[in-house]
Amino acid sequence: MSKFIDKLNRVSQAVPQPMGFRLAQSVPLQPKVLLIASLPQANVDSLADYVAGADAGLLPISNLSSGAKTIQKICRVVSDIPWGGWLRDVGRGEVGQIVKAGCDFIVFPETKTPLAILQNEKVGKILEVEASLSGDLLRAVNELPADAVLVTSEQKGEYFLTWHHLMLFQRFADLLAKPLLASVPSNITANELQALWGAGVDGVVVEVGAGQPKQRLNELRQTIDKLTFPLQRKRGKAEALLPYIRGETGIETEEEE
Q: Whole-angstrom Cα distance, residue 155 to residue 151?
A: 12
pLDDT per residue over 147-190, tens digit each?
999 998 766 556 789 999 999 999 999 999 999 999 999 889 99
Distances (CA, A) of 105 to 33, 71, 101: 18, 11, 12
Please give the model's pTM, rounded to 2 decimal places.
0.82
Let me know: does 148 contact 116? Beta carbons within 8 Å.
no
pLDDT in tens, 51-66: 999 999 999 998 888 8
